[in-house]
Each structure stands twice: as C-alpha cells, then as structure tokens.
Amino acid sequence: MAAITTTAGRRAIPWGWIFGLGIPALVLARIYYLVNVVEVRDYAFFIGAMVQSLQLGSLYALIALGYTMVYGIIRLINFAHGEVFMVGAFISYFLFSGAPFALPWALLWSAVLAWGVAFILNLWRGSMTHPTVIAGGLVAFAALTFLLSTFQVNWVAALLLSMLFTGVLGVVIDRVAYRPLRGAPRISLLITAIAVSFLLQNTGLIVFTRNQTPFRPETDWTAFLQFDVLGGTVYTSRLMFLIPILTAVLVTALTLFVTRTRLGKAMRASAQDAETAQMMGINVNRVIATTFLLGSMLAAAGGFLWGLNFGSLNQPAVMGILPGIKAFAAAVIGGIGSLPGAVIGGLLLGFLENFMTALFPRQGDFPGLTEFKDTFAFALLIVVLLVRPSGIVGEDLSEKV
C-alpha cells in the first residue's frame, strides 16, 4: 500500500565517478607531459605543490567551517566572515609582537577576553549570572591582566587569546547587527552582513594598520625543510606538519562538540528547523551565538595560520575579502550547511587553485595562468552555484509550490 518504492528508475549518469577518476587521470597525464615530454618541471615540484595545497586547503577549510555553520542555522551568507578572519590574524599579531602590555591596555584586553570566558561558561551553565560564570570571568580577568602585563605572550597563547577575542567579536556582531533582523527577509540580512564587512575593513584600517605587515612569531615551526624525493628536492617548511595537524585537531574538536554535547545537538536541531527547535525549548538565540563564537574562533585560528604560512598580513581592507570569498566557494563546493563538506571543499579548492597554476606554467608565449588565480576562485564559485548548488554532500533545497 505504501507509495514509497525503491526502484532505481532511470540510470543516473555517474558524474561522481567520472569526475573522481577522470580529473586525477588528466592531472597525472599533464604532470607526465610537463616532466617527461617538455621537461619544464620535475616530480618533486608537484610533491611540493601537493604539500602547499594541503596547507592552503586546511586554511580554507578552517574559514569555510564558519560560513557553513552560520548558513546552516540562519541561512545567511556571512559576508563579514572574511573580515572576522582578518581581525583574528591581526589580533594575534598584536598579541605576540611587542613587549608586555602597559597596565591600562592589559586591563582592557583582559576585560574583553574575560567576558569571552564568561560567555563560554554561560553557554555551559545557562545563565550569565550563574556563580560559576561570574567567578570564572573574574578569575580569568585577574589571571589575564597579570599574564598580559608581565610576560611577553608566546605564539600559542597569542593563538588561543586571539581565538577567544575573535569569538567574542563574532558574538557581538551577531548580537548587534544580525539579531535585530531575525525573521526579516534573507536579503536584508545579507545587506547587513555586507555593511558589517565594510565596517570591519575600514575600522581595521584605522585601528590596525594601513600597510602590509610582516608576521613572524618566535617559533621553530616556520623553519625551512627540504627533502629529496623522486630525483628532485622539495623545499618546504615545518608548517607542512603544523597546519594540517592543527586543523585536524580543531575540526575533530568541533565535530565532537556538535555531535556529543547538548548544545551541539541543539545546534543541529536548529539547523534542521529553527522554529520547531524553539518550540521544543531550545534557546535558538543562544545556539546562534554559539555558532558565531565557534565559527569566529576557527576563523581566528585560520588567520593566525594564514599569517604563518605567508609570512605577512595584507592590509586590512583587502586581507579578508579574497580568502573569505574563496572559503565561501569552498563551503559551497563541499555543500553548504555540512561540516565535512566544508573540509572537503576547502581541501579541494586548495588543490585546484595550486595545481591550476602548477600545471599551466609560463611556456614560451603562453603567460601561464598565475594571473588568473583569483579570477579562478570566483569563476569556480559561479560555476558550482550554477551547476550544482547543493555541492558535493549537501542536499538540494528547492522551493515548494
């Protein structure tokens, strides 16, 4: 009687197999051609490109997670996420560079950070006025004031504190700019997000710097590394271990949080249907705030690692926008709203971008594709949105009539 049948119907074209095997095959053929036929590259060069792709892809994945989580819950393309990433990078820069802070500055920083600690405890305890939350906030305030005014912050502390600070920033942005627009048309929300992005860019120009900034914390992780493989030498740095491993740790922690904790379950419920989730007693506003907190923290980690990877930070007005849009493209490629999708999409974009330039180098009159690198990300975004807006693992949401 049930109308549900499992007939296969028409045989679908196996695009997954065609792309999954066809593209790597084409890439390998092209590498063989470049190495053995025209002899402009050696195999080690492509191993190096693989390593670079993995690093870049991890960074995109970290940023893309923020996009995908926010989109999953409030259906907002958080245009300002790239700027949050930029702020994260600059905050960590200001934390690790320079001497211990003067007392007023230490107090200011600690106040913001302690509020962040209290907010996180509040997510756990359920109220800002819970004794644990207040005590935790005060302890954090005292400890951080002492820490910041006495010691030079090392890179690990800078990373963690920057994540905390940026997380707070994400929550504040949601509270001030997005929350008044709950229930408004999505386009209004997107316009607000663009405005926030513009605001952060220009505030960054005033508060941080107007110039390209070198980003060199005292760490051994940036040391150069070279090894011989396949008759050539790969030049890289120890970051080839740090960035993917740190990304994996953060992504695992996020996954555990989302799947194992009550708040994470509430988050997934809200992503399914926020209205019903609220009727089931979930405080959706708190869930959204948590989403912004986590997404911004990951973006800050991404920002710090971005600085390490490239050795410098671009000026604030342009630093966030391009990685942001690319990470959004990654999130869409993977399937927006899906956490594994964001990671897959980020890694894929990292590979595509690197190999596009590596596979088509300057050859005679052909100028190479390097100058189209940024254009490529936009073009890829457009093509993916047009051809398969649900991405690799996402589901299609088309309108009901």
Partner 1 sequence: MSMLSVRNLNKSFGGLQATTNLSFDVEPGEIVSVIGPNGAGKTTLFNLITGVYTPDSGSIELEGRSLVGMRPNQVVDAGIARTFQNLRLFTNLSVLDNVLIPQHHQLKVPWWQAVLRTPSYRKAEAHMHDVAMEKLAFFGPRLMSFRLHQPVYVLSYANRRRTEMARAMATGAKMLLLDEPSAGMNPKETAEITQIIRRMRDEGGYTILLVEHKMNLVGEISDRVVVLDYGQKIAEGSYKDVVNDEKVLEAYLGKRADDDASEEVEL
Partner 2 sequence: MSDSRTRLRNVMLTLGVGAIVAVLLALVEGNGGAKLNDTLALFAIWGIAALSLNLVNGTTGILSLGHHGFMLIGGYVTSLLIVPADVRERIASQARSDMTPFTLSLSVENAFNAVGLQALTTPETLWVRFLVALLVGGFVAMIFGLIVGIPSLRLKGDYLAIVTFGFGEIIRLSASTSLFSPFTNGALGFAGVPNDFGKSIWWTFAILGLTLFVMTKIKFSSFGRALQGIREDEIAAEAMGVNLARSKVLAFAISAFFAGIAGGLWVSYLSAARLDFFLFFLTFFFLVAISVGGTGSYTGVLMGVAVVVFVQQYGDPLEKTYGLPVWFGVIGSLILIAAAGGWLYRKTRRMRPVLHPLVVVLGLIGLGTLLFAIFGQNSPALDGTFQAFGMRRILLAVLLIVIMAFRPEGIMSRAEFSWAWALRERKDQPSDEERAQDAWLSNPDLNRGSATSSEDPLPASLTAEDAPNAVPFLERGTKPDPDEPRYGEGRDWQPEQDDEEEGR
Q: Which is nearer to partner 1, 371 or 399 (CB)?
A: 399
The DSSP output letter for 224 is E
150 binds, among partner 2, partner 1, none (CB under 5 to 8 A by kind): none
Place of tokens 């254009």: 375
The DSSP output letter for 236 is E
Least Å distance between CB 72 and partner 1?
22
311 binds, among partner 1, partner 2, none (CB under 5 to 8 A by kind): none
Least Å distance between CB 117 and partner 2?
16
Place of tokens 């309108």: 399
Least Å distance between CB 163 and partner 2?
23
With both helix axes pointing from N to C terminus, report the angle between 284-310 and 81-96 in degrees, rounded to the nearest 10: 60
Q: Which is nearer to partner 2, 157 or 190 (CB)?
A: 190
374 binds, among partner 1, partner 2, none (CB under 5 to 8 A by kind): partner 2
Q: Which is nearer to partner 1, 232 or 389 (CB)?
A: 389
226 binds, among partner 2, partner 1, none (CB under 5 to 8 A by kind): none
Q: Which of 36, 50, 19, 20 is closest to 358 using CA atoms? A: 50
Helix (H, G, I), strand (E, B) or coil at 229: strand
Q: CB 279: neighbour CB atoms within 10 A? A: 10
Least Å distance between CB 48 and partner 2?
25
Count Cα neighbours of 345 within 13 Å in the Cβ-side half-sphere.
Answer: 34
N residues, the chain: 401
The DSSP output letter for 79 is T
Least Å distance between CB 188 and partner 1?
15
365 binds, among partner 1, partner 2, none (CB under 5 to 8 A by kind): none
Amino acid occupying residue 95: L
223 binds, among partner 1, partner 2, none (CB under 5 to 8 A by kind): none
Positions in the binding site for partner 2 (CB under 8 A): 75-77, 104, 176-177, 179-188, 190-192, 194-196, 198-199, 202-203, 205-206, 210, 274-275, 278, 284-285, 321, 325, 328, 367, 371-372, 374-375, 378-379, 381-382, 385-386, 389, 397-401
187 binds, among partner 1, partner 2, none (CB under 5 to 8 A by kind): partner 2
Q: How far is CA 23 from CA 13, 169, 274, 316, in A?
A: 16, 41, 39, 36
Q: Which is nearer to partner 1, 6 or 129 (CB)?
A: 6
- Selected from 80, 211, 266, 401, the binder of partner 1 by CB under 8 A is 401
Q: Which is nearer to partner 2, 37 or 386 (CB)?
A: 386
Least Å distance between CB 386 and partner 1?
18
Helix (H, G, I), strand (E, B) or coil at 192: helix
Q: Which is nearer to partner 1, 4 or 187 (CB)?
A: 4
Q: Tell me if 187 contacts partner 1 by CB under 8 A.
A: no
Size of residue set near partner 1 by CB under 8 A = 9
Q: CB 381: neighbour CB atoms within 10 A? A: 19
What is the rounded distance in angstroms from the CA atom of residue 156 to the CA atom of residue 217? 10
What is the rounded distance in angstroms from the CA atom of residue 83 to the CA atom of residue 75? 19
Least Å distance between CB 212 and partner 1?
48
Q: Site mask, partner 1, residues 3-42, x = CB under 8 A?
A: xxxxx-xx--------------------------------
Is the CA virtual torsion 349, 350, 351, 355 positive or negative? positive
Tell me how far apart the 2 most distant CA atoms of the chain are, in Å.
Answer: 76
203 binds, among partner 2, partner 1, none (CB under 5 to 8 A by kind): partner 2
Q: Which of 164, 174, 107 is closest to 141 using CA atoms? A: 107
What is the rounded distance in angstroms from the CA atom of residue 51 to the CA atom of residue 239? 10
CB-based contacts of 183: which residues, under 8 Å, 6+ apart?
none
In the complex, the residues that contact partner 1 under the rule CB under 8 A are: 1, 3-7, 9-10, 401
